[in-house]
Amino acid sequence: KQEVTQIPAALSVPEGENLVLNCSFTDSAIYNLQWFRQDPGKGLTSLLLIQSSQREQTSGRLNASLDKSSGRSTLYIAASQPGDSATYLCALPPHYQLIWGAGTKLIIKP
Amino acid sequence: GAGVSQSPSNKVTEKGKDVELRCDPISGHTALYWYRQSLGQGLEFLIYFQGNSAPDKSGLPSDRFSAERTGGSVSTLTIQRTQQEDSAVYLCASSPRSFSRTDTQYFGPGTRLTVL
């Protein structure tokens, strides 16, 4: 059974810092991995989707990497801004539904 | 068209009452999902509608929960005889294709259900 863990559970850093969020999973037989952002009252927004054949995806200041053999993905946020404050979740589809990590709550201090 | 919409945004009900939550997926999306997020918990899969095929109901926590999708578009999640442990944010998502493990899921803003 796939299990997804995100570390740390919460992170608070000053504006401008580069930071890394971690996601680990127990079953390396994955189809893809997605990173989402959750803002209070605004649902979930997909940030990046990495197919199992890819090693990384980039979108603006965000870079997500995937290492299936070690069961890990990282989300790198460059030059963090207060607007990046949100909860970041990773999710994997073993079938058609997603299995979710508990998320990392990120606070960027101005 | 527009993104996924859900209504109501907030629902407060008394224990034992029935509630209906509505989801309007993105036009043309054939796959529709319901998830639940309890306070301090991760998201939990509830049900998946895949085009005209039978839905995957494997995540429904009890027989008090049911869902339907009419005309391949709007979906309604019904919770009968609500209990306090049903309090959560209920999220709906849609994706373009059924039976696709590679499509991104697009989420609605959720319905916050509070059972008193």
Is pLDDT larger for residue A86 or for residue B55?
A86
Judging contacts by C-beta atoms under 8 Å, the chain B residues touching residue A96 are: 31, 33, 48, 50, 56, 99-101
Residue A92 pLDDT > 80, yes or no? yes
- Closest residue in B to A47 (Cα) is B104
Contact A103 B99 (CB under 8 A): no
Q: Which DSSP string corresponds to A69-82?
A: TTTEEEEEE-S--G
In this model, does residue A27 exceed pLDDT 80? yes
Query: Do residues A32 and A99 lie in contact, with contact meaning Cβ atoms separated by under 8 Å?
Result: no
DSSP state of A46: E
Which residues of chain A have a CB within 8 Å of the CB of B45? 97-99
pLDDT at B1 over 60: no
Report the gap between the CA of A90 and the closest CA in chain B (Å): 10
Q: Which one of B34, B43, B94 would you mutate to disrupt binding with A, by most A Cβ within 10 Å of its Cβ?
A: B43
Distance from C-alpha of B4 to C-alpha of A91, rounded to nearest angstrom: 19
User: Helices (H) and strands (E) in chain B — how many of each?
Assistant: 0, 10
What band does B50 get if pLDDT is binned at 50, 70 and 90? confident
CA distances from B70 to A29, B22, B23, B115 (A): 34, 11, 11, 27
